Amino acid sequence: MERRSVVAVPARLRSSRLPNKVLADIGGRPMIQRVLERCRAAVGPEAVVLCTDSSQLQGLAEDWGFPVLMTAEHCSSGSERIASVVKPLMALAWGGREADPLRTAVINVQGDQPFLDPAVVTAMTETFARLDPVPAVVTPVYRLKPDTIHNPNVVKTLLAHDGRALYFSRSAIPHVRDVDPSEWHGHATYWGHVGMYGFRGDVLAGWDQLPASPLEDLERLEQLRLIEAGHTIATFEVNGTSLSVDTAEQLEQARAMAGSID
């Protein structure tokens, strides 16, 4: 059964913490250009598409050779932004032909990961192609080091024995009873979550029908909305996560890294 995938990169200029960050210069190129080019280096996706409400970003991406889908200005998340244009996204995966949502993966890559490893995107498409039945959602995870287990800025994933994600949290999970928290790493494997999702087309098409999620509101993690709605989230392991630029300090870190990575 043929399956196809497309990469969608949602981006806006009005970032609350670091406005215009996707246009920030990193080693001579705007951050969003780096993200798009790294996605294009992946093997498997039929297209890499910028999804934005900015005509400025539209013009730049088209100059770089990337298709663009324009979205509404007000979207609460990147997933909501790409969900709003899911039909044309799927059509691009199938070369303009009518798409089968059950056999189409839409891979959501954040526009603030300038050093994203293209191999992770490749692995995402391979995971969708391999699993049967086709999973509703696929996301990468990585093994956490002991000093990051209790950091609330690092999102943790609790996995079942078959690799399904049972829960996501900013707290360390699982809790190891009767053991000092500093020693928990010796009793369980702790997994971090990479902020990238692959959605089966029909799941993304039904995004606006998902019920409100109290857990999402508490943890500020949109993937909990999917779990509360009953969707299965499959995972695959990667070596680590890439830098996400959310602050001025992280932007300077990215600029320092550019010389050694390029």
DSSP category for residue 164:
B
**pTM over the 0.85 mark:** yes
The predicted pLDDT at position 28 comes to 94
The predicted pLDDT at position 242 comes to 85
Average pLDDT per consecutive 10 residues, the chain (262 residues; last block may be shorter) = 94 83 94 97 97 96 98 89 96 91 96 94 94 92 95 94 95 97 96 94 95 92 94 94 87 88 70
The predicted pLDDT at position 14 comes to 80
The predicted pLDDT at position 80 comes to 93
The predicted pLDDT at position 61 comes to 97
The predicted pLDDT at position 144 comes to 96
Number of H helices, E strands in the chain: 9, 12
Q: Which domain holds residue 241?
A: 4-261
The predicted pLDDT at position 214 comes to 94
Question: Looking at the chain, how many residues does it have?
Answer: 262
Q: Exposed, middle or buried: residue 92 (CB in 10 Å: 0-12, 13-18, 19+)?
A: buried
For CA atoms 154, 155, 161, 167, give the dihedral sign: positive
Count of domains forming the chain: 1
| Chain centroid offset of residue 240 CA | 14
- CATH number of the structural domain spanning residue 39: 3.90.550.10
